[in-house]
Amino acid sequence: MQELQKLSEKLDTLLKKYSELQAENNRLKKTIVSHVETMEQLNHKIGDLENNMATVQLGKNVLSVNDKIGVTRQIDTVIGEIDKILATLND
């Protein structure tokens, strides 16, 4: 009978730990969603700022083809880094 009581106590302990882990998991998932949303907003702002910067640069002087290629590569690099960060957050 005593063994059954010990087993019941162990089961209760495991169930309590499981519930705590589920709660923590849910909290972490919400945090990830929040961070992803923030990253998406920041990506959008970065895109807008990059467009504004490119417009200002074009207004000051006409970019050569090489300059346009360089700006495009920089933007692609920034977007690639942001995609890596988002992928890391989703893991």
In the predicted model, what is the mean pLDDT of the chain? 88
61 phi, psi to nearest 5 deg = -155, 150
Q: List, for residues 17-44, the tens digit of each pLDDT value.
A: 999 999 999 999 999 999 999 999 999 9
DSSP state of 67: H
Of 35, 79, 36, 74, the C-alpha closest to 54 is 74
| Single pTM value for the model | 0.50
Going by C-beta distance under 8 Å and a sequence separation of 6 or more, which residues neighbour residue 75?
50
**CA distances, 9 to each of 3, 6, 16, 19, 27 (Å):** 10, 5, 11, 15, 27
Q: At what angle do helices 2-60 and 65-90 cross, to 10 degrees?
A: 170
Taking the C-alpha atoms of residue 12 and residue 5, their distance in angstroms, rounded to an integer, is 10
